[in-house]
Amino acid sequence: MTRHTTMFLFLAVLAAPVMARAGEADDLQRQIDYLKQTTNDLERQDDQKAVATEITVMRSWLDNAWNLRSQEKYEEVRIILDRCEAQAHMVRQLLIAATLSAQADAKEDEVKRARAQLARTKKALENAKVQKARLEGKV
């Protein structure tokens, strides 16, 4: 081993933890950015404003994570990001539930209308039968 090689290895050993931390910070930043983008996407999908609170909370969490990352509290950031991932998943399920509930409401309204229509048709049938009986009596 040459002296230069030895020096290189020595410096590499010294720089490794620093480089590792720098990579972790970038990785967390990408995750934060990704989750922010996810938050925006979820907000766009929330046309009923069913999960507005959850999205607001998630944004505040991400802001907190961003601050903690700046403070290089990576472990705490990771915990918050895990929670945000779970929150994003939950929000998706809530959005689906809200959408399905809205569809169910619409369907039930449709059922109500159909029942009302059926009732009107039945009433019309009753009236028609009365009219028919009267006409049969006349004819």
Partner 1 sequence: MTTIIRASLLAVLASGLLSVGCATPPKPRELDALERLRLDPDMPVARKRAPDLCKKADKAFSAATAKWQSNDLVESVNNALLGQIFFRNALALVKQDKANARIADAEDALSTIGEEREKVQKDLDDTNEKIGLLQKLSQSKAEEARKNEEMKALEAQMEADKKANEEKLAQEKLRAETADKVSEAELAIKTAETVNAAKYAPELYRSAVQILAKAQGELQAGQMQQAQASAAIAQKTAADATAMAKPSYDRDSQAEENRKKADGLFAQASGIPGVRTRRDMRGSLQRIIITIPADLLFVKRQTVIAPGKDMVLDPVAELIKKKEYQNFPVQVVGYTDTRGSTTSNLALSGARAQSVFNALVTRGVDVRRMMASGQGGAEPVADGRTAAGRASNHRVEIVFLYQ
In the 3-class helix/strand/coil scheme, how is 106-118 assigned residue by residue? HHHHHHHHHHHHH
Whole-number Å distance between alpha carbons of 130 and 63: 73
- Site residues for partner 1, 4-63, by CB under 8 A, read none
Whole-number Å distance between alpha carbons of 23 and 29: 10
Stretch that binds partner 1, among 9-17, 24-32, 36-44, 97-105 (CB under 8 A): 97-105
State the nearest-atom distance from the C-beta of 24 to partner 1, in Å. 19
Is residue 36 within 8 Å of 69, Cβ to Cβ?
no
Whole-number Å distance between alpha carbons of 9 and 124: 95
Q: Which is nearer to partner 1, 9 or 86 (CB)?
A: 86
State the nearest-atom distance from the C-beta of 93 to partner 1, in Å. 4
Q: Which is nearer to partner 1, 26 or 47 (CB)?
A: 47
Whole-number Å distance between alpha carbons of 56 and 64: 12
Q: Where along the sequence are the contacts to partner 1 (CB under 8 A)? A: 79, 82-83, 86-87, 89-90, 93-94, 96-97, 100-101, 103-104, 107-108, 110-111, 114-115, 117-118, 121-122, 124-125, 128-129, 131-132, 135-136, 138-139
